[in-house]
Structure 1
Amino acid sequence: MRRDFPAGRLGTVDEVADVVTCLLSDRASWINGTNIAVDGAQNRPSARGY
């Protein structure tokens, strides 16, 4: 797993929820038209194999 994830672990539900919470808040009002990868700097398009 260290080879695929620079953090050496999978992310937690709380870590993903933090990003979602930020995007739903007023602080994200200037963010639009982008994809935000919440993948621990993984270089693959998905983690389905895990």
Structure 2
Amino acid sequence: MLPDFADLDLRTLSRQSSHPVLAAVASGLLPRMLRGEPAMAFYEDGPYQL
């Protein structure tokens, strides 16, 4: 079972993370959270096309 990160502060993580990939993911999820949508990332969200 994966850990529950529902209480994670995406605003802080996107601004203060020293890891560039983690900051980019948090920045990408933040708009969804602010719109009240589930903060989930899907493979289709990535820049790569099959």
TM range (shorter): under 0.3
Higher RCO (C-alpha under 8 Å, 6+ residues apart): 1
Normalising by the residue count of structure 1, what TM-score does the alignment of the two structures yield?
0.24
Rg larger in 1 or in 2?
A: 1
Normalising by the residue count of structure 2, what TM-score does the alignment of the two structures yield?
0.24
The structure whose residues are more often helix, as a share, is 2
